[in-house]
Structures are given as structure tokens and as C-alpha cells.
Amino acid sequence: MAKINSTIPEFKAQAFHNGEFVTVSSEDVKGKWAVFCFYPADFTFVCPTELGDLADHYEELQSAGVEVYSVSTDTHFVHKAWHDASETINKIKFPMIGDPTGAITRGFDVMIEEEGLALRGTFVVNPEGQIKVAEVHDLGIGRSAKDLVRKVKAAQYVAANDGQVCPAKWEPGEETLTPSLDLVGKI
């Protein structure tokens, strides 16, 4: 799997975004926070529930300075067809990247080679292009956008507050920890 603190792979691909086909590259990602959400395929079952959930939280992620990129091994043409055919997918405002060669999917190490599909991989990437959160699910296990938003905000907090860490279930505004000798054995 793609490693924490490793730099995202270089890529250039076509995406369906806001009714148009656009080119998205790894260079476009740098300079801001990003989420990459890999999923197996368009016109499937768990995928639209996840992407719809992510679409429902997109505005909150955008207000936190985060761009979202969904990625499957389908083409950008299939993404448009799915967007046009499904009320759930029609809610999506973030770029839907087509990765028919699997280069991006392999670069994040979530390709199921024998099927040519991606695992359910979620990656939070900092403005320097480094992976700060990596989560991979088997195909039958859907993800929660609400928890993803929490993890993004924790990653942003840790990046902005040197020496502090966020405990389990941390939410913005709650207490954080400053690791020190005084805390050893007291938590």
C-alpha cells in the first residue's frame, strides 16, 4: 500500500468535472489539501452510496481547503454517463478521474490486478503532495465521509500545530495532546 509520508505518484488523466472533460495532474494537486477516493467501478452498488455520501460532505471539505478526487479504472466517458444516469452520482461536484490504464491506481497500490479494479482506498494528501492518511477497505465494506472529514481536520490540525497530536475520536475544538515524559503512563 502507498506509504504514509510518501509523495503521491506523478500522473496526468482525464476527468469528468462540472459537466466537462478536464485534465487533472499530480501538479494540480500540490499546494492544497486533497482527498483521493478510489473505488472499484461505476454503475455498481456500494460505490454510489460512498460517492453520494462524499458529495454530501463536499462543501464542508471545500470550506476546509480540500479538493476531492474520485478515481476508478473506468474512463471519464463512463463517469459522465453514470453522472447523467444516477440521481445519487448527479450530486457530485468534485472531479471524477478516469484511470483506464490503472496507472494512478497502481501508483497508490490499490489495484486488484486480476480484476483490473481498485480497492476502496482513501488517501488524505497534504499541500506538499505527501500522504498523511491511508485507508483501504475490501470491496464489500463501504466508507464514511463523516469520519473522513474528521481525519482530514485532524491531519490539518497536526500540520498546523507542531508537537501536538490528536487522540482517538478527536473533533475540532476538543483537547489535543502534547507528547512528553510527563504523559508517559498517565493516559
**Residues with a known catalytic role:** 47
Element (H, E) at 77: helix 76-85
Q: Which residues contact 143 (CB under 8 A, 6 or more apart)?
A: 37, 50, 53, 120, 122, 135, 137
Residues 38 and 40: their CA atoms lie apart, in Å, by 7
Report the distance separating Cα 98 and Cα 16, nearest Å: 8
- Alpha-carbon span 68 to 93, nearest angstrom: 9
Residues 29/129, Cβ–Cβ less than 8 Å? yes
Distance CA(113)–CA(166), nearest Å, equals: 36
**Number of neighbouring beta carbons within 10 Å of residue 60:** 14
